[in-house]
């Protein structure tokens, strides 16, 4: 009986682990603009499909929340990369 419950639990968890879907550049740009970011500031790397990378210097809390909500809703993990550009 215990083995059957463990097997059932493993099956239930594996059903939730769907592969991440790649979003095209146009979709990511639409989300970026909707969250107050610039085009090209949201990327999804093909080698790490589950990560949604935000490439922006100091995003606002509202921008972070917007990106994080969309990412989670789409089975992605939001990652915020803080870019510091050198002073010219």
User: Do the domain assignments include residue 48?
Assistant: yes
pTM: 0.73
Find the domain containing 34 and state its range.
19-81
Across 70-84, average pLDDT: 90
pLDDT digits 0-9 by tens, 12-35: 554 455 567 899 999 999 999 999
Distance CA 31, CA 2 (A): 46
Number of domains in the chain: 1
User: Do the domain assignments include residue 60?
Assistant: yes
User: Do the domain assignments include residue 10?
Assistant: no
As given in the structure block, the two tokens for residue 59 are 């995003």
User: Do the domain assignments include residue 8?
Assistant: no
User: Do the domain assignments include residue 39?
Assistant: yes
Cβ atoms < 10 Å from Cβ of 6 = 10
User: Do the domain assignments include residue 9?
Assistant: no
Q: pLDDT at position 76, please?
A: 94
């Amino acid at each position: 009986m215990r083995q059957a419950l463990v097997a059932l639990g493993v099956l239930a968890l594996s059903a939730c682990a769907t592969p991440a879907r790649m979003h095209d550049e146009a979709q990511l740009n639409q989300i970026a603009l909707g969250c107050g970011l610039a085009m090209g500031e949201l990327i999804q790397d093909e080698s790490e499909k589950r990560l949604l990378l935000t490439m922006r210097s100091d995003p606002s809390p509202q921008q972070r929340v917007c990106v994080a909500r969309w990412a989670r809703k789409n089975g992605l993990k939001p990652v915020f990369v803080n870019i510091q550009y050198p002073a010219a």
